[in-house]
Structure 1
């Protein structure tokens, strides 16, 4: 998600702490209810009454039924007494979610300790076919609120945050204000406005089965090495996608590059002031079904060119006109636990290369295994284990080694990049509540600062709610 700004914004103990307290109380109540209701996975049929019966009595619903219905509905706030469904029929679809992430560094790093960060996302999608007879058109608006502190910044000292929702100004912001339109049936789709380009390029939602930002949901090298931006950092731009036969697509676009949007005080900035150029991505993709079990997979290859002037990675006084990069992204189910469902073992591979003249991370690799629905009784749970290797530009290492050797110091640790490993279990407590404990290992956390900081072990706990 990301184009992170490692800004140590103080957490508001009144507003942020109070909000977190409400969420924790809701989670506690939900867990107690879940434990006390062993049959919550199957919703109970509502009582039926024959209309017009002379002995008709109002249906009775027990407290247990009410709690069970709450636990099995698709969102925490339900249908709002039917209002949500009526609005959806009229074309107005509301969405909201909460993510809370705690990370505690219990070994290594700069010091022992942990931080909490949280995100509230609210938005609406308007079906313009229902509202204005513009068939195939959708208007999108999204807002995002982030607050908290970073365990990576405060306790570990590594570059890529162990809490993926930390950053991008740590503020309240407009994330999207856009319109997309299908043309020629579903063959062509055009989107334009204030958009999150990373929602359409180099993304896989599977990598958000991890809390560490080096996984979710894009390679962190893309925004680090260029003007690329991921959620919730919106930019002005447009994208065109062509859907071809055999589940193949091709897409491209043009997006503003403006580093000032990510600053803390610019959550609602819409002006072009501060623009440095334009980023032009291109992506090709294909959806496949392999073998007799029709195992699903998605294959993507893409690249970008950023027209902005960029400093030489070893000499900030020298600049290059433009920078570039490319990526390959694959997710493929290799074993189905239950044919015909999304339960299975999925392999995810992601690799990027960037302009070595200007990039801190010229190469970046992700390898992950996600077991969705490993247990038949828990079809929506997952187990995820992954590894990320982000390398330091060898030109930077050579420069630093030369400085150290001039002082008579040898530092072999400079030859390494930062390494991240995470393993976790996602417990889908209800359709709208996910609890995700995990353990993370951060190898060589000081790779990009050329210091000596011990490898870190981190306990993470992520909570996701859908309202």
Structure 2
């Protein structure tokens, strides 16, 4: 297929714009939003002088009217197979092998920067994997998933056979997915640009000591994804179409109220899991992602900010933060969602980002985006709602990233990442006094809210800093190692219920010599409550506080801080199966000293389809 010239590409973009503006009346926010998304594509269009061969390998630039000869294509060989992280590896616990080439790689593979290669064959090795670890779309919140297979010396990894049934029980346990290769159809479809997969995840947590009430709650989630690689499907370098649907059942919000906690102890949190027995099915992603060249990557569509801003890095092919169950850690540091219009998984709203790699490799990243805010994102009528009808503003993040590391976490230099970001929320919102209902009934009687007088305030803003590194890799078995992370998030105190938020954690992969894929993880979070709210409760009249009984002692309890500590063990009896019991302690439940430290026990289990 003949590649469009620059003028033809720009004409297409602006025809889309004119069609949208003429089709119907649009609001100011909608105009700005569409202009931004089309502008991103238009800016990137002049940079799109990359030629791709049918196998998906980016070759040296060629004029639009010429193409690589057969000799050229034979000369530039596909690199040996290696492991790459895909979102299905974190979302559903599987990882896949593929040639060293820009191609779709599972649920929200996002054509990671591991696909970005210099156009020189001699330099191809250095630009292989960067965004896989630090800058790629984050593996979505699940129970950590299974790890990328080790392919180094002594590896016993064997891809699943192209059969409907496994040859033996041990062979079944060694498969990457529980359903295998579907008689060869799965790999056949993937090689032609259609990647299909899914996973199931369940959680049960119970408060067995301390807190307000002792109770247990259950929630589960299923996910189905389809990625369409335009290069493989149609032979044109037009990026990847991502589709993701999620289904959730059960409730964790009830357990949050029982303890109580400001952050959920379960990672299956939000998006509709707020009422016991409640279940929903919703669109989580429908987007178009494009790697224009080794400097620019864009994505637009129905999506959320959680996968690309203040996101976890990827270690051993899995989400580092989601080696934990506590929602204050897994996913992202939670205060950014509490303090702003940050959009989170599994909700979806119109959005887009542009990622720029100034040096053309994985060492540096500058990224920004815009995401429509929807205050009713978890409402049933928005589960499949496309467009900006319910938009109330825009969330605009900016992020600078630095990365170093080897080809994978099994070889080469130990990886390290630093990300610094900031956000701005276009809405004018009420000040921090509007957050007082968060504490009503626990810190003070609900009737005291009559003394609150929230005022309209400026747009929220904040900053964050994240760092993570692999501390050690075992010399005798590179599958085993130790990684650590930390983050700090700040929000404008005038609007933020949690202006300061910290997470810390360490993850050991390879707990014993014969358990190289098991993990033991220790981590926690600290949430500081707004001083303004603390002082407001302290100043409440005594006669108001004396009405606060409920059988747990009278008086008012000024909120200060809530912290949590989690210890868990991730047992992986099969490549597609995770069972992870956890023990959590919630200090200062609900942000006050009213209740004793809560002791929470739980278990997660995930299966990759």
TM-score interval (norm. to shorter):
0.7 to 0.9
- How much has 1:408 moved relative to structure 2? 7.8
Question: Residue in 1 aligned with 2:349?
Answer: 235
SS at match of 2:207: strand
- How much has 1:424 moved relative to structure 2? 0.4
- How much has 1:328 moved relative to structure 2? 0.8
The answer on 1:259 being equivalent to 2:394 is no
Q: Distance in 1 between matches of 2:476 and 2:420?
A: 28
Q: Equivalences for 1:101-116 in 2 at 5 Å? A: 101-116=203-218
Query: Quick one: structure 1 residues 306 and 434, their matched pair in 2 at CA, closer, same or farther if it must change by over 3 Å?
Result: same
Q: Which moved more, 1:357-366 or 1:236-245?
A: 236-245
Q: 2:595 aligns with which of 435, 450, 453?
A: 453
Check conservation: 2:537, 2:557, Cα contact below 8 A.
Answer: no
Q: Distance in 2 between matches of 1:45 and 1:277?
A: 47
Q: Equivalences for 1:64-83 in 2 at 5 Å? A: 65-83=167-185
Q: Distance in 1 between matches of 2:194 and 2:504?
A: 39
Question: Residue in 2 aligned with 1:149?
Answer: 251
The answer on 1:373 being equivalent to 2:510 is yes
Q: Deviations over 1:188-211 (max 9, x none)?
A: 101001112211111112010011
Q: 1:327 aligns with which of 440, 464, 472?
A: 464
Question: Residue in 1 aligned with 2:88?
Answer: none
Q: Deviations over 1:261-313 (max 9, x none)?
A: 222342112232221111110011111249x9722111111011000111111
Query: Quick one: structure 1 residues 404 and 334, their matched pair in 2 at CA, closer, same or farther if it must change by over 3 Å?
Result: farther
Check conservation: 1:197, 1:235, Cα contact below 8 A.
Answer: no
- How much has 1:443 moved relative to structure 2? 1.1
Q: Deviations over 1:114-154 (max 9, x none)?
A: 01100101111111111233326010000011110225335
Query: Quick one: structure 1 residues 138 and 44, their matched pair in 2 at CA, closer, same or farther if it must change by over 3 Å?
Result: closer
Q: Equivalences for 1:224-373 in 2 at 5 Å? A: 224-245=338-359, 247-289=363-405, 294-314=413-433, 317-338=454-475, 341=478, 343-373=480-510
SS at match of 1:446: helix
Check conservation: 1:404, 1:411, Cα contact below 8 A.
Answer: no
Spell out structure 1 runs of 4+ moving beyond 6 A: 43-47, 408-412
SS at match of 2:376: helix
- How much has 1:320 moved relative to structure 2? 1.5
Q: Which moved more, 1:452-461 or 1:393-402?
A: 452-461
Q: Deviations over 1:223-272 (max 9, x none)?
A: 11111012111110110001232611111011111111222342112232
Name the TM-score, length of structure 2 as normaliser.
0.63
Query: Quick one: structure 1 residues 254 and 46, their matched pair in 2 at CA, closer, same or farther if it must change by over 3 Å?
Result: closer
Name the TM-score, length of structure 1 as normaliser.
0.82
Q: Equivalences for 1:378-397 in 2 at 5 Å? A: 378-397=515-534
Q: Distance in 1 between matches of 2:477 and 2:355?
A: 29
Q: Deviations over 1:134-182 (max 9, x none)?
A: 3260100000111102253353121211111132113211000000101
Residues paired across the two proteins, number: 409
Task: Determine which structure has the larger strand proportion and give its number.
Answer: 1
- How much has 1:404 moved relative to structure 2? 4.8
Query: Quick one: structure 1 residues 296 and 46, their matched pair in 2 at CA, closer, same or farther if it must change by over 3 Å?
Result: closer
Aligned CA-pair RMSD:
2.6
Question: Residue in 1 aligned with 2:564?
Answer: 420
- How much has 1:64 moved relative to structure 2? 9.6
The answer on 1:159 being equivalent to 2:262 is yes
Unaligned runs of 5+ in 1: 1-40, 48-62
- How much has 1:42 moved relative to structure 2? 5.8
Check conservation: 1:98, 1:466, Cα contact below 8 A.
Answer: yes
Q: 2:287 aligns with which of 168, 178, 191?
A: 178
SS at match of 1:335: strand
Q: 1:198 aligns with which of 301, 306, 313?
A: 306
Check conservation: 2:534, 2:560, Cα contact below 8 A.
Answer: no
Check conservation: 2:225, 2:245, Cα contact below 8 A.
Answer: yes
Check conservation: 2:212, 2:595, Cα contact below 8 A.
Answer: yes
Q: Deviations over 1:369-426 (max 9, x none)?
A: 1112232321111111011001110101111110155758797952531111100001
Check conservation: 1:221, 1:352, Cα contact below 8 A.
Answer: yes
Question: Residue in 1 aligned with 2:227?
Answer: 125
- How much has 1:349 moved relative to structure 2? 0.2
Q: Distance in 2 between matches of 1:45 and 1:278?
A: 45
Q: Distance in 2 between matches of 1:46 and 1:359?
A: 50
Q: 2:197 aligns with which of 78, 95, 102?
A: 95
Question: Residue in 1 aligned with 2:186?
Answer: 84
